[in-house]
Amino acid sequence: MKHLRDKRATQKIRDKYAETRILAADFVYPYFVTPGKKIKEAIKGFEGINRFSPDMLVKDIPGILKYGVDKVLLFGTPDESEKDETGSGAYSGTGIVPAAVREIKKYFPKITVITDVCMCAYTKSGHCGIVRGGTVLNDETLPYLAKTALAHAAAGADIVAPSAMMDGQVDAIRKILDKNGFDNVKILAYSAKYASCLYGPFREAEKSTPSFGDRKSYQMDYRNSKEAMLEVKEDIKEGADMVMVKPAHAYLDIIRAVRAAYPKIPLAAYHVSGEYAMLKAAARAGVFDEKAAMMEVLTAIKRAGADTIITYFAVEAARLIGGKK
């Protein structure tokens, strides 16, 4: 029996019978990886989050494993000088993400390594695809995303996560992986990814703010929810193993709707950089206690129907759940 609603119940009983419980195993912790050595640099406006070179990244990992966080999502932040028209740094086998994957797998083979597959950190335009004449081209971008996913898989990634919001990206990636013997590599599709103002600290971390225009031609309009269902449906059809709703806190209704329509699909929700920064800033301003707000919001995301929560709070929340201050 769950959810013993008795006003006389003790806190202990309420804790025991709560319907929703967040666990360290639910979390994915994002990391920003950058070329070089001995680099661990803070990111402006992104409290507690750093850019790591691969050698420093593997030094950080014991600190997350200690609290039971064993899934990471890698974002490459290449040097400015490496950016070009086709985002060649993204699909290079010797690029920053493959290098980081190999380093992690060398020391921590059991960690689940998820890699973000996109072009925005690698293109001069800062857009998630190939640009011609001021337009982001969907179909021309697909082979580049496929090659990027293949480079990550070849380096040892367990799951690739296409985030470019190009139609057909899951299909293109599934095909190239299978053709090259990586049929065991899974795909986490950023299916319902909205054009949101809540990605600010992330774009600072990635230096991936578009040089012109915005991402509204390929990311979703926040006024639409039925469209999210179509995106999810299409990605599942194309072979996604897990789908995602992003952002999370402001999109609990979308999480709920996807869960209701697909009771069995593994569902991830991305509590994004701006949502994280908002809680940090409000807590600092004395609006609420940070830990209480963090737990309430992350629990709400799971209660809405997410199985997996990608969050910059992963380590802090896991530490708290484990009983450490």
Maximum CA pair distance of the chain? Answer: 67
- Sign of the dihedral through C-alpha 114, 117, 123, 128: negative
Residue 273 near which of Zn ion, ligand PBG, none (CB within 5-8 Å, type-dependent): ligand PBG
The residue nearest ligand PBG at its CB is 202
232: contact with ligand PBG by CB under 6 A: no
Q: Which stretch binds Zn ion (CB under 5 A): 51-59, 74-82, 110-118, 299-307?
A: 110-118
Peptide bond just before 247 cis, omega within 30 deg: yes
* Cα 91 from Cα 97, distance rounded (Å): 9
* Residue 242 β-bridge partners: 188
Active site (annotated) includes residue 12 = no
Shortest separation between residue 182's beta carbon and Zn ion, angstroms: 22
Residues with Cβ within 8 Å of 70's Cβ and at least 6 positions away in sequence, in order, are 24, 25, 64, 110, 111, 112
Active site (annotated) includes residue 233 = no
146: contact with Zn ion by CB under 5 A: no
Q: Which stretch binds ligand PBG (CB under 6 A): 50-58, 173-181, 199-207, 277-285?
A: 199-207
Helix, strand, coil tally for the chain in percent (to 5) = 45, 20, 35
Q: Which C-beta is closer to ligand PBG: that of 66 or that of 78?
A: 78
97: contact with ligand PBG by CB under 6 A: no
- Cβ density class 127-156: b for 16+ within 10 Å, e for less: bbbbbeeeebebeebbebbbbbbbbbbbbb
The site map against Zn ion for 114-133 (x = CB under 5 A) is ----x-x-------x-----
* Cα 118 from Cα 123, distance rounded (Å): 10
Residue 272 near which of Zn ion, ligand PBG, none (CB within 5-8 Å, type-dependent): ligand PBG
Q: Which C-beta is closer to ligand PBG: that of 31 or that of 199?
A: 199
Residues of this chain that bind ligand PBG (CB under 6 A): 116, 118, 120, 128, 163, 199, 202-203, 215, 272-273
Residues of this chain that bind Zn ion (CB under 5 A): 118, 120, 128
Q: Give the residue numbers annotated as catalytic, written as ranges.
A: 193, 246
